[in-house]
């Protein structure tokens, strides 16, 4: 069991070099080619989830927990579309940046409350719990515990994204092309889709929608799972 180590490393990373790197990638300024590719891929993941939720046409009534919210790339557009957001991240620097961005985009009064909190410590009940591109920082056995905890907070729906473990990505990772640059200082864990689906099912959820984002350097499988009504 190495959650503590991974978590401590991840927290330090996203309060230091990781914060600078990812703030740039998630921003609009100039970046190198690899970072531009990751920016494009990540934006596609965000757009997919925003489009799913907007198409349901009930955002104004929803409470959404965005666990590991980063700089607010998902929380801000969802709040803009009328949802009530409870957004948190293990990194204080990320939360400060997200708070600033929300203020710039939405003004002083907005429907997002931000908190510095690791997702295992989150409490409360939310219609929808979303956790995008966080599980990559943890091995599958730890991701399973995290998903179970997030499932316990979700009244109706859980949306996750993760780097899928496929032969092709395993080879890319081995030759060091995947997640190049300073992010190598944290480990990147890929997860088998069937393992993640099994974890969701064991927590009483069934898969509703799926999507995949793949660019040259960014791979993210998105799963929307809803609570089984017969349970
Ligand atoms: N979800 C955001 C997005 O898609 O824009 C950010 C993704 S970024 C790659 C990963 C984020 O997860 C970082 O902001 C990091 O601080 C956060 N994180 C990592 N481990 C966490 C944990 N155990 N609890 C909460 N946040 C965590």
Whether 53 is in the pocket of ligand 1, judged by its Cβ within 6 Å, is no
Residues shown for the chain: 231
Whether 6 is in the pocket of ligand 1, judged by its Cβ within 6 Å, is no
Q: How many A from CA of 133 to the centre of ligand 1?
A: 7
pLDDT digits (tens, 9 = 90+) for 55-102: 999 999 899 999 999 999 999 999 999 999 999 999 999 999 999 999
Whether 97 is in the pocket of ligand 1, judged by its Cβ within 6 Å, is no
Beta strand 63-67 pairing with 84-89: parallel
| Six-digit token string for 60 | 């104004």
Whether 89 is in the pocket of ligand 1, judged by its Cβ within 6 Å, is yes
Contact present, 128 and 64 (Cβ < 8 Å): yes
Distances (CA, A) of 150 to 13, 91, 174: 23, 18, 31
Span 116-129, average pLDDT: 98
Q: How many A from CA of 88 to the centre of ligand 1?
A: 9
Q: How many A from CA of 219 to the centre of ligand 1?
A: 16
Whether 91 is in the pocket of ligand 1, judged by its Cβ within 6 Å, is yes
Query: Which residue ranges make up each domain of the chain?
Result: 3-227
Q: How many A from CA of 183 to the centre of ligand 1?
A: 13
The CATH class given to the 3-227 domain equals alpha beta
Write down the mean pLDDT value for the chain. Answer: 91
> Among 90-94, 111-115, 129-133, 182-186, which is the least confidently predicted range?
182-186
**pLDDT at residue 61 in the model:** 83
Ligand 1 atom nearest to 94, measured from its CA: 14
Ligand 1 atom nearest to 146, measured from its CA: 23
With b meaning 16 or more CB within 10 Å and e meaning fewer, what string describes 31-67? eeebbebbbebbebbbebbbeebeeeeebeebbbbbb
Span 142-167, average pLDDT: 95
Whether 49 is in the pocket of ligand 1, judged by its Cβ within 6 Å, is no
Distances (CA, A) of 223 to 34, 75, 124, 160, 162: 25, 18, 22, 5, 9
Q: How many A from CA of 43 to the centre of ligand 1?
A: 15
pLDDT digits (tens, 9 = 90+) for 156-190: 999 999 999 876 666 555 555 455 455 445 678 99
Quick check: 32 pLDDT over 80?
Answer: yes
Quick check: 3 pLDDT over 50?
Answer: no
In angstroms, rounded to a whole number, what is the distance separating the alpha carbons of residues 135 and 123? 19
């Amino acid at each position: 069991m190495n959650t503590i180590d991974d978590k401590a490393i991840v927290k330090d990373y996203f309060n230091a070099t990781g914060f600078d790197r990812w703030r740039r990638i998630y921003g609009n300024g100039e970046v190198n080619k690899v970072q531009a590719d990751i920016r494009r891929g990540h934006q596609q993941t965000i757009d997919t989830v925003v489009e799913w939720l907007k198409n349901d046409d009930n955002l104004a009534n929803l409470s959404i927990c965005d666990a590991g919210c980063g700089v607010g790339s998902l929380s801000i557009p969802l709040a803009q579309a009328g949802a009530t957001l409870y957004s948190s991240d293990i990194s204080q620097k990320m939360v400060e940046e997200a708070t600033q961005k929300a203020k710039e985009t939405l003004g002083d009064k907005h429907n997002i409350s931000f908190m510095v909190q690791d997702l295992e410590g989150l409490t409360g009940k939310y219609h929808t719990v979303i956790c995008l591109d966080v599980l990559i920082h943890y091995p599958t056995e730890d991701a399973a515990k995290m998903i179970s905890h997030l499932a316990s907070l979700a009244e109706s729906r859980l949306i996750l994204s993760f780097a899928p473990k496929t032969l092709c990505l395993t080879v890319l990772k081995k030759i060091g092309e995947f997640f190049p640059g300073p992010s190598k200082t944290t480990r990147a864990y890929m997860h088998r889709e069937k393992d993640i689906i099994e974890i969701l099912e064991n927590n009483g959820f069934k898969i509703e929608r799926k999507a995949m984002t793949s660019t040259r350097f960014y791979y993210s499988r998105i799963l929307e799972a809803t609570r089984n009504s017969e349970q």
